[in-house]
Amino acid sequence: MIDLHTHSTFSDGSLTPEQLAELAAKTGLTAVALTDHDSTNGVLRFVAACETQGVRGIPGVEISADVKTGTMHILGYFVDPTQTGLEETLCQIRNGRQVRNQEILAKLNKLGLELTWNEVAALAGEEVVGRPHFAQAMLARGYVSKREAAFDKYLGKGKPAYADRFRLSPADSIAAIRGAGGIAVLSHPSTLELDKGALRKCVVELKECGLKGVEVYYSEHSAEQVSDYLALVDDLGLVATGGSDFHGESNPAIRLGVGFGSLSVPDAAMEALDRVRGG
């Protein structure tokens, strides 16, 4: 059993890299990738901890790309976290998050939700403050009854406290990953909110930029979507990968390795990535 999409306290997950590696071993995973949002700062600790636990740890990252419709994330596998070009790029993205975070806080305050930066930042662990931490702070204050409500009413795209931020283009995201020796994969294609024809066109364009795979197996993908995405990657000669998008306590319904319970990422996904890496 493998899981190629997880997060730690270095983005918006609740477990440290070491705790994530320990849980992977207890869960029975043979391979797991750490793909924190716009950060590789926990990768070296994670890979070392996985080695101690007898699990194969894959150094990764998840980069948010700029698109007009929906949301696009690009996963990078086998990236070198010491590559200065990648780190400079990710630092630029994270700085954009900080500007956005202050704008979100100001909007929430103007709406009468008296949050402070310190209480939001305290929920962020070791690194990047994101919208999930605002949602947690709102929940703790009693402004919303559940985390999802914070996004539905305030923090989601188009809602009154939403603020955009700096993102790379899809092509530049892929180039950053490849420049660090990584393999670029389109994350959860369902969030692009495209019909089959438009999605195919998008993936073809990304492949021309160096994309090597698509995250077919995902916690929130239906059986029909998995079937459609498998057909797409087979037709285009791409790798079908998958992962739970595990965050821990911030989204406890999604469990490591199995998502909502039925997720099963085939070992062939890891084997295919290894072939791409070796070839």
Query: Encoding tokens for residue 50?
Result: 């996985």
* Distance from C-alpha of 37 to C-alpha of 272, rounded to nearest angstrom: 24
pLDDT for 134-188, tens place per residue?
Answer: 998 999 999 999 888 999 999 988 899 999 888 899 999 999 999 999 999 999 9
Predicted local distance difference test score (pLDDT) of residue 147: 85
Residue at which a domain ends, from 155, 176, 197: 155
Structurally, how many domains does the chain consist of? 2
Closest CA to 56 of 8, 4, 120, 125: 4
What single DSSP character describes residue 86? H
Residue holding tokens 């295919």?
272
Indicate whether 160 belongs to any domain: no
Residue at which a domain ends, from 155, 186, 201: 155
Region of poorest pLDDT, from 17-31, 40-54, 87-101, 265-279 = 87-101
pLDDT at 194 over 60: yes
User: Do 103 and 142 fall into the same domain?
Assistant: yes
User: Do 181 and 69 fall into the same domain?
Assistant: yes
Mean pLDDT of 92-114: 91
23 touches 109 (CB < 8 A): no
* Distance from C-alpha of 225 to C-alpha of 128, rounded to nearest angstrom: 31
What is the domain range of residue 150? 94-155
* Distance from C-alpha of 107 to C-alpha of 162, rounded to nearest angstrom: 8
CATH number at residue 258: 3.20.20.140
Query: Encoding tokens for residue 121?
Result: 């930042």
Residue holding tokens 């692009």?
192
User: Do 191 and 120 fall into the same domain?
Assistant: no
pLDDT for 204-228, tens place per residue?
Answer: 999 999 999 999 999 999 999 999 9
Task: For 255, list phi and psi in degrees, rounded to 5.
Answer: -100, 150
User: Do 106 and 182 fall into the same domain?
Assistant: no
User: Do 121 and 190 fall into the same domain?
Assistant: no
- When comparing pLDDT for 133 and 27, which is higher? 27
Closest CA to 171 of 134, 208, 136, 135: 208
pLDDT at 126 over 60: no
User: Do 206 and 106 fall into the same domain?
Assistant: no
Indicate whether 69 belongs to any domain: yes
* Distance from C-alpha of 86 to C-alpha of 81, rounded to nearest angstrom: 7
Predicted local distance difference test score (pLDDT) of residue 250: 77
Indicate whether 112 belongs to any domain: yes
**High-pLDDT (> 90) share of the chain, %:** 80
User: Do 134 and 82 fall into the same domain?
Assistant: no
Predicted local distance difference test score (pLDDT) of residue 125: 61
User: Do 140 and 180 fall into the same domain?
Assistant: no
User: pTM score, two decimals?
Assistant: 0.85
Residue at which a domain ends, from 106, 122, 155: 155
CATH number at residue 114: 1.10.150
Q: Residue 130 — very low, low, confident or very high, per pLDDT cuts 50/70/90?
A: confident
User: Do 188 and 257 fall into the same domain?
Assistant: yes
Indicate whether 129 belongs to any domain: yes
